[in-house]
C-alpha cells in the first residue's frame, strides 16, 4: 500500500508539472493568439470596409452627375430642403418632388441625368434635383450601413491640410438621432476638426486609395472617392473599439481553449507513455534494490533485473545496478577483511600506547622517600603513539638525571626510535658520564646504524642533590625555563649543540649552574610553543612564560596542569598537531638542610 501511494505521488508530481506546463503554454498561447486575433479582426475590418467603400462608391457614381452633385451639396448645403431617412412605402415629400421634376422636365431621367443636362436647368430645378438625389443616396447608404453593421458610415470633403472635414452625407440606423453633436449621425454641412491620427489616415487614403487607423475609442477607415476642385472626397467608416475588442477576446479565448484542450490530451498521452515505458520499469528496479537491502541475495536480484527488457537508459540502469550489486558484495567482503585488520591494528596500537606509557616514569610522587626534590612530567602524543619522551632516574644516591627529547616524525616509527634513544641515553647515563659525554656517545651509537636517517633533539641534565650543582647539555632541543628562589621563570638561552643522529663525532657543550633551594626547572618539547588554534596562531614561549609566572610557587604537578589548561583554552577545537611533553623539577635543597 505504501509503495502504491508513492507511485501515485510520482504520477501526481509529473502531472502537476505537465499542468503547470499547460498553464504556462496557455498563457503564452493566449498572448500570441490575442495578437493574431487582433491582426485577424483588423484584417477582417479592413476587408469588409473595402467592400462597403466599393458599394458606397458605386452608389454615388450610379448618378452620372455625381461630381456636380458633390460640389452642389458642398456649396449649397444651407439652402437645401433635405428629407432624411425616407420610407418609400408611404407617401413622402421626396416622391412629390420626383413627380414635380418629371412634370417640368419629362425628357430628363433623374437617375441618368448628366452634368450638362443639370447645368441647363434653372437654379430652382437644380436645387430640386440635388434634393431628390440626396434623399435617394441617403436611403441607399442607410441600407449599406445596416447590411454590414457599421457603427458610422459617412462621406466627407477635406482641404489639402486635412485639418477639418466637411460631412456630405452619413448613413443611419432606423430611429437614429441626426444632428451636430459628437457620436450623433451628422447632417449635411457639419464640419469637425480632425486629430493628428485621423489627418494621417485621411492623407494616406488620399495618396493610397484607403487606410485603416485608430482614433480614440474608434477605428477609422477612409477610402478615396474623388476630388472636387482639388479637395479630396473620402468615404469614411468608424468601428467602435468595444465591439472590436469583444471580437478579439472571443477569437482569443476560442483559439486558446482549443490549443489548451489539445495540450491536455497530449499531456495525458505522454503521461501514460511515461508511466508504461519509464515509471513502471523504474518501479521494478526500485523494488529489487529494496529487496537487496533486506535480503542481500545478489543472485536473485541480478536475475530479476535481467528480466526487465528495455532497450534504453533503463536497460542500462538495470545492468549498472546488477554490476553495483556485485561490486557491493565484493566490497562488503573487503570491508570485513579491512575491519578485522583495523581492529587488529587498533589493538596493537593500543598495546603499543600502553607499552610506551609504561616505558616512561608514570607513578607520582616518583621518589616519595626523597625530600631534596619534587618532579612531575606528562606526555600526550598527537597519535596513538608518539616520538616525544621524558625520563628521570637516580644515577646514584646523590645524582638525579633528567631527560626530555623529541624524535623526528610521528606515529609508530617515531615511537620505535624513541624507545631505542631512551634506552641508549639511560645506559650511558647510568655509567656515570657527564651530560656532554652522554649525548656524544648516544649520538655515536645512533649514527652507527641509522639507515632511516631519523634524529632526536635531547636536553639532559644531572643534578647533584647534596650541593645543588646542576650540569646540563642540549642537543638541538628547546631552551629550558629556570626559576630562581622568589623569582620568575626565565628561558636559559645558552647555546645548545647539534641534534643527535644526523652527524657522527659531534662534540657537545656542557654548562654548569649552582641551583639554590626553592629553584624550579621546566623543560618541554616544541609541541607546547607550536600548539596552534583554528586560525593557525601559535601558543609561543612568551605565553608559556606568562602562564608559568602566574603562580611560580605552585607545585610541579599544578604547574603542568595550568600549562595544559592554558593550551587547551588557546587551541579550542583545533586538532592537536604535535606531541606535547612537559617536565618540571623543584629543588628543595640537601636532605639535611630540608630536615633542619
Give 212-241 pLDDT, tens digit per residue. Answer: 776 656 778 899 999 998 899 999 888 876
Domain interval for residue 192? 41-238
CB 539 within 8 A of CB 567: yes
Question: How many C-beta atoms surround the C-beta of residue 574 within 10 A?
Answer: 14
According to DSSP, the residues that pair with 482 across neighbouring strands are: 490, 521
Q: Determine, yes or no, domain membership for 207.
A: yes
* Same domain (yes/no): 381, 526: yes
Q: Determine, yes or no, domain membership for 407.
A: yes
Q: Determine, yes or no, domain membership for 379.
A: yes
Give 133-186 pLDDT, tens digit per residue. Answer: 999 999 999 999 999 888 889 999 998 888 899 999 999 988 888 888 877 899
Give 435-455 pLDDT, tens digit per residue. Answer: 999 999 999 999 998 888 899
Q: Determine, yes or no, domain membership for 222.
A: yes
Q: Which three cell numbers stand for residue 102?
A: 418629371
Distance separating alpha carbons of residues 34 and 38, to the nearest angstrom: 6
Give 67-79 pLDDT, tens digit per residue. Answer: 999 999 999 999 9
Provide the terminal-to-terminal Cα distance of the chain, rounded to the nearest Å: 92
pLDDT for res 350: 66
Q: Which three cell numbers stand for residue 280?
A: 513502471
Phi and psi at residue 277, to the nearest 5°: -95, -15
CB 474 within 8 A of CB 523: no
Confidence of residue 49 (pLDDT cuts 50, 70, 90): confident
Between 126 and 577, residue with greater pLDDT: 126
Q: Which of 238, 263, 281 is the last residue of a domain?
A: 238
Which 8-state DSSP code applies to residue 187? P
pLDDT for res 283: 73
Distance separating alpha carbons of residues 13 and 20, to the nearest angstrom: 10
CB 221 within 8 A of CB 136: no
pLDDT for res 348: 66
* Same domain (yes/no): 199, 59: yes
Q: Which three cell numbers stand for residue 208?
A: 493610397
* pTM greater than 0.75 (yes/no): no
Q: Determine, yes or no, domain membership for 89.
A: yes
Distance separating alpha carbons of residues 314 and 423, to the nearest angstrom: 68
Burial category of 568 from C-beta neighbours within 10 Å (exposed 0-12, middle 13-18, buried 19 and up):
exposed
Q: Which three cell numbers stand for residue 274?
A: 511515461
* Same domain (yes/no): 384, 532: yes
Q: Determine, yes or no, domain membership for 422.
A: yes
Q: Determine, yes or no, domain membership for 60.
A: yes
Distance separating alpha carbons of residues 21 and 271, to the nearest angstrom: 13
Q: Which three cell numbers stand for residue 516?
A: 639554590
pLDDT for res 5: 46
Between 324 and 161, residue with greater pLDDT: 161
pLDDT for res 554: 94
pLDDT for res 183: 77
Q: Is the pLDDT of residue 244 over 60?
A: no
Q: Which three cell numbers stand for residue 225?
A: 472617392
* Same domain (yes/no): 373, 228: no
pLDDT for res 7: 46
pLDDT for res 1: 42
Q: Which of 208, 238, 268 is the last residue of a domain?
A: 238
* Same domain (yes/no): 208, 59: yes
Per the listing, cell 610553543 goes with 529
Distances (CA, A) of 436 to 137, 429, 462, 517: 139, 10, 11, 25
Residue 537 sits in a domain whose CATH number is 3.60.40.10
Average pLDDT, the chain: 84
Strand order in the sheet with 218-228: 191-193, 164-170, 152-158, 231-240, 218-228, 210-215
> How many Cα neighbours within 13 Å face the side chain of 300?
11
Q: Which three cell numbers stand for residue 6?
A: 508513492
Distance separating alpha carbons of residues 467 and 517, to the nearest angstrom: 10
Q: Which three cell numbers stand for residue 339?
A: 575491519
Q: Which are the contacts of 443, defined by CB distance < 8 A and separation ≥ 6?
A: 475, 500, 501, 503, 504, 506, 508
Between 444 and 331, residue with greater pLDDT: 444
Distance separating alpha carbons of residues 493 and 484, to the nearest angstrom: 15
Q: Which of 204, 238, 272 is the last residue of a domain?
A: 238
* Same domain (yes/no): 215, 66: yes
Give 93-121 pLDDT, tens digit per residue. Answer: 888 899 999 999 999 998 899 999 999 99
pLDDT for res 349: 65
pLDDT for res 6: 47
Q: Determine, yes or no, domain membership for 322.
A: no
How many structural domains compose the chain? 2
Helix (H) or strand (E) holding 379, with range, is: strand 373-380
Strands 489-491 and 580-587: unpaired
Distance separating alpha carbons of residues 226 and 231, to the nearest angstrom: 8
Mean pLDDT of 207-211: 81
Amino acid at each position: 500500500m505504501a509503495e502504491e501511494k508513492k507511485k501515485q505521488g510520482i504520477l501526481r508530481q509529473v502531472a502537476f508539472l505537465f499542468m503547470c506546463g499547460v498553464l504556462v503554454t496557455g498563457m503564452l498561447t493566449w498572448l500570441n493568439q490575442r495578437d493574431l486575433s487582433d491582426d485577424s479582426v483588423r484584417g477582417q475590418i479592413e476587408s469588409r470596409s473595402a467592400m462597403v467603400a466599393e458599394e458606397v462608391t458605386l452608389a454615388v457614381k450610379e448618378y452620372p452627375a455625381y461630381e456636380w452633385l458633390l460640389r452642389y451639396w458642398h456649396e449649397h448645403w444651407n439652402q437645401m430642403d433635405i428629407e432624411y431617412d425616407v420610407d418609400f412605402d408611404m407617401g413622402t415629400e421626396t416622391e412629390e418632388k420626383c413627380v414635380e421634376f418629371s412634370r417640368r422636365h419629362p425628357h430628363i431621367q433623374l437617375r441618368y441625368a448628366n452634368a450638362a443636362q443639370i447645368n441647363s436647368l434653372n437654379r430652382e430645378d437644380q436645387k430640386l434635383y440635388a434634393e431628390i438625389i440626396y434623399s435617394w443616396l441617403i436611403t441607399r447608404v442607410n441600407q449599406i450601413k445596416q447590411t454590414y453593421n457599421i457603427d458610422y458610415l459617412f462621406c466627407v470633403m477635406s482641404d489639402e491640410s486635412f485639418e477639418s472635414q466637411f460631412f456630405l452625407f452619413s448613413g443611419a440606423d432606423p430611429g437614429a438621432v441626426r444632428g451636430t453633436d459628437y457620436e450623433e449621425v451628422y447632417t449635411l454641412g457639419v464640419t469637425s476638426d480632425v486629430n493628428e491620427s485621423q489627418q494621417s489616415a485621411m492623407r494616406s487614403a488620399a495618396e493610397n486609395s484607403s487606410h485603416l487607423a485608430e482614433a480614440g475609442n474608434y477605428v477609422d477607415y477612409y477610402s478615396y472617392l474623388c476630388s472636387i476642385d482639388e479637395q479630396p472626397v473620402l468615404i469614411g467608416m468608424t468601428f467602435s473599439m468595444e465591439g472590436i475588442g469583444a471580437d478579439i477576446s472571443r477569437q482569443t479565448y476560442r483559439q486558446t481553449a482549443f490549443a489548451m484542450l489539445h495540450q491536455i490530451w497530449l499531456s495525458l498521452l505522454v503521461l501514460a507513455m511515461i508511466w508504461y515505458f519509464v515509471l513502471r520499469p523504474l518501479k521494478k528496479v526500485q523494488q529489487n534494490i529494496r529487496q537487496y537491502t533486506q535480503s542481500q541475495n545478489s543472485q536473485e536480484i541480478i536475475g530479476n533485473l535481467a528480466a526487465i527488457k528495455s532497450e534504453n537508459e533503463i536497460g542500462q540502469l538495470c545492468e549498472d545496478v546488477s554490476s553495483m550489486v556485485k561490486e557491493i558484495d565484493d566490497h562488503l567482503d573487503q570491508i570485513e577483511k579491512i575491519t578485522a585488520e583495523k581492529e587488529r591494528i587498533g589493538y596493537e596500537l593500543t598495546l603499543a600506547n600502553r607499552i610506551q606509557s609504561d616505558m616512561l616514569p608514570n607513578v607520582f610522587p616518583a621518589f616519595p622517600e626523597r625530600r631534596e626534590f619534587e618532579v612531575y612530567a606528562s606526555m600526550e602524543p598527537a597519535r596513538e603513539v608518539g616520538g616525544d619522551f621524558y625520563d628521570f632516574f637516580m644515577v646514584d644516591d646523590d645524582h638525579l638525571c633528567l631527560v626530555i627529547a623529541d624524535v623526528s616524525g610521528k606515529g609508530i616509527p617515531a615511537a620505535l626510535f624513541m624507545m631505542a634513544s631512551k634506552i641508549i641515553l639511560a645506559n650511558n647515563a647510568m655509567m656515570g658520564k657527564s651530560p656532554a659525554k652522554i649525548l656524544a656517545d648516544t649520538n655515536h651509537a645512533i649514527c652507527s646504524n641509522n639507515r632511516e636517517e631519523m634524529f632526536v633533539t635531547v636536553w639532559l641534565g644531572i643534578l647533584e642533590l647534596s650541593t645543588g650543582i646542576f650540569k646540563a647539555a642540549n642537543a638541538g632541543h628547546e631552551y629550558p625555563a629556570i626559576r630562581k628562589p622568589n623569582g620568575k621563570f626565565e628561558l636559559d638561552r645558552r647555546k645548545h649543540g647539534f641534534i643527535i643522529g644526523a652527524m657522527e663525532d659531534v662534540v657537545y657543550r656542557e654548562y654548569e649552574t649552582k641551583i639554590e633551594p626553592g629553584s624550579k626547572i621546566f623543560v618541554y618539547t616544541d609541541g607546547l610553543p607550536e600548539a596552534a588554534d583554528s586560525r593557525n596562531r601559535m601558543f609561543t614561549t612568551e605565553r608559556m612564560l606568562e602562564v608559568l609566572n602566574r603562580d611560580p610557587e605552585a607545585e610541579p604537578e599544578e604547574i603542568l596542569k595550568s600549562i595544559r589548561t592554558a593550551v587547551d583554552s588557546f587551541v579550542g577545537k583545533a586538532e592537536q598537531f604535535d606531541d606535547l611533553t612537559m617536565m618540571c623539577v623543584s629543588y628543595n635543597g640537601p636532605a639535611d638542610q630540608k630536615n633542619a
